Amino acid sequence: MSNRTPAWGGLCPSPHLPPLQNGAKPLAWHKPGQFAWSRVLAWTCHEHRNTWYELCAAGGLAYIRRFKGDQLKPEVAQTHAWREAEARAVWLALLSGRAQ
């Protein structure tokens, strides 16, 4: 993960995804709506990227939410939900360029 320097001069506090690795696992993305509410556990940078992600938990499960495009009105999609340990493994794969 690389971090870029924001306008205020410090390092970006949120991770930036690296380039995809060969053989990266494609994730299935669906329209959001399975959960009425969710808690955000982790996120990637939204200031320096057109696509950013959140690891979310709800109802004893966890999933990844993807935002694309305009920060004020992004296109939103999410993965299906897994047990939290499985979702964290997929999250780490996304952060390392092994999932997309």
User: C-alpha distances in angstroms, 74 versus 65, 77, 86?
Assistant: 12, 10, 26
Helix (H, G, I), strand (E, B) or coil at 67: strand
Helix H or strand E encompassing 64: strand 61-68
Written as one letter, the residue type at 62 is: A
For 30-88, what is each residue's pLDDT tens digit?
999 878 899 999 999 877 778 999 999 998 999 999 999 888 899 999 999 999 999 99
Q: Is the dihedral of CA 94, 54, 39, 61 positive or negative?
A: negative
pTM of the model: 0.84
CB 57 within 8 A of CB 81: no
